A = this chain, B = another copy of it.
Amino acid sequence: MARRRSQTPQKAQPTMHDVARVAGVSQMTVSRVMRGTGYISKDVKNEVVKAAREMGYVHNRLAGGNATYDNPIVGVVIPTMQNRVFNEVLSGINDTLVESGLRPVFGVTEYSLETEEDVVFDLLSWRPRGLILPGLEHTPSLRKIIAQTGVRVAEIMDVDGDPISACFGFSHAQAGEDMARHLIERGYRRFGLVGSQGGLDLRATKRFDAFSKLVTSLGAEVVARENDTQASSMEAGRKMTSALLDEPNPPDAIYYANDDLAAGGLMHCLANGIDVPKEVALAGFNGLGFLSALPKRITSTVTPRYKIGADAASWILRTSSADAGLKSDLGATLRIGETT
């Protein structure tokens, strides 16, 4: 076993050198066996694997990264952990990455661009093979450090704007307009908007802006807005819906920033005997699976969450940096339910 300088709480781990000694080969041969590269005879390979297993040796991939400038890491930034949308995005990222022997390292911004800057800086200290960032909006400092380090960046969830290198998502403006057109067609004219995160969710804002603009131009109007500062949840949706409908001239249709909020709205109506969609129509966003379990299927926009994550991850994995300026619109489709 190798001697150690520092008195870490951990036991001294064996090194390749130790394995090599036990197996009676050179350390380089052990390295080759561990990575499965180059020529190795079967006998030696077995010998090395056996010795490693017996000693409990685990390949130290980070030390190797040091020598090759290539750590098996992708930095992944998400706005929040409190939203299931990102569970699915992360699943897509994780599955794709793990398949290639890499792992994501996460950072959470809580919807703050300043925090995002800090998080990215921290993530960069891991010398990741690439970075996955939410949205196309970033601070100038963030852009600068990205440019300086030349790190590969994939932006996800949005395509309305100019990506740093490549983006994978869908058009929120389009999604907002689609929903506006649908609701107008169904005869609704007085709209309420319900969001969360105090307007910091820039993609939701894009949807709402496009929605408002279109309904206004079609002769309808947005009569009320609610925007809780707290995280999105069914509770928040229920509370805000209640507030909205208690006003003197309530809207006849409510467009929510996401399905959780909309489901909360539906629950409020259900509990208070408000007929949906006769008295008020409800529309969500994301098309999450749980909608199908609700008493009424809520109209929503289905977004390709898993695929966004998977595509972004595999773009990072592709070594060619050829496809700069790539805009991958994975599409989001309106799914009409029983609430509009």
**What residues of chain A have their CB less than 8 Å away from a CB belonging to chain B?**
4, 6, 8-11, 13, 55-56, 58-63, 65-66, 68-71, 81-82, 84, 87-88, 90-91, 94, 98, 103-108, 121-122, 124-127, 129, 144-145, 147-152, 233-235, 237-238, 260, 263-264, 267, 270-271, 289-290, 292-295, 319-321
How far does the alpha carbon of A204 sit from the alpha carbon of B188 in the complex, in Å? 46
Flag if A94 contacts B68 (CB, 8 Å). no
The 10 closest A-B pairs by CB, nearest first: A56-B148, A11-B150, A234-B293, A234-B290, A271-B295, A58-B124, A238-B293, A61-B125, A235-B293, A264-B293
How far does the alpha carbon of A306 sit from the alpha carbon of B66 in the complex, in Å? 35
Rounded to whole Å, the gap between the CB of A41 and the closest CB of chain B is 25
- Which residue in chain B gives the minimum CB-CB distance to A69? B8
How far does the alpha carbon of A271 sit from the alpha carbon of B105 in the complex, in Å? 42
How far does the alpha carbon of A6 sit from the alpha carbon of B67 in the complex, in Å? 10
How far does the alpha carbon of A91 sit from the alpha carbon of B58 in the complex, in Å? 29
Give 14 pairs: A residue, B residue, CB < 8 Å, sorted on A. Answer: A8-B69, A11-B150, A13-B149, A56-B144, A56-B148, A58-B125, A58-B145, A62-B66, A62-B71, A82-B91, A103-B106, A234-B289, A260-B290, A263-B293
A6, A129, A260, A293 interface centre (most CB from chain B within 10 Å) = A293
Rounded to whole Å, the gap between the CB of A96 and the closest CB of chain B is 13
Flag if B108 contacts A105 (CB, 8 Å). no
Question: A293-B233, A295-B267 given as contacts; is B69 within 8 A of A66 (CB)?
Answer: no
In the complex, what residues of B have CB within 8 A of residue A63's CB?
66
How far does the alpha carbon of A106 sit from the alpha carbon of B6 in the complex, in Å? 27
In the complex, what residues of B have CB within 8 A of residue A319's CB?
9
Flag if A10 contacts B152 (CB, 8 Å). yes
- Which residue in chain B gives the minimum CB-CB distance to A320? B9
Contact partner of A270 among B65, B238, B270, B292, CB < 8 A?
A: B270
How far does the alpha carbon of A60 sit from the alpha carbon of B73 in the complex, in Å? 13
How far does the alpha carbon of A65 sit from the alpha carbon of B62 in the complex, in Å? 9
Contact partner of A68 among B6, B58, B149, CB < 8 A?
A: B6
Contact partner of A125 among B59, B235, B238, CB < 8 A?
A: B59
Contact partner of A6 among B66, B70, B292, B320, CB < 8 A?
A: B70
How far does the alpha carbon of A98 sit from the alpha carbon of B147 in the complex, in Å? 25
- Which residue in chain B gives the minimum CB-CB distance to A295? B271
Flag if B60 contacts A127 (CB, 8 Å). yes
Rounded to whole Å, the gap between the CB of A123 and the closest CB of chain B is 8
Contact partner of A81 among B11, B66, B90, B290, CB < 8 A?
A: B90
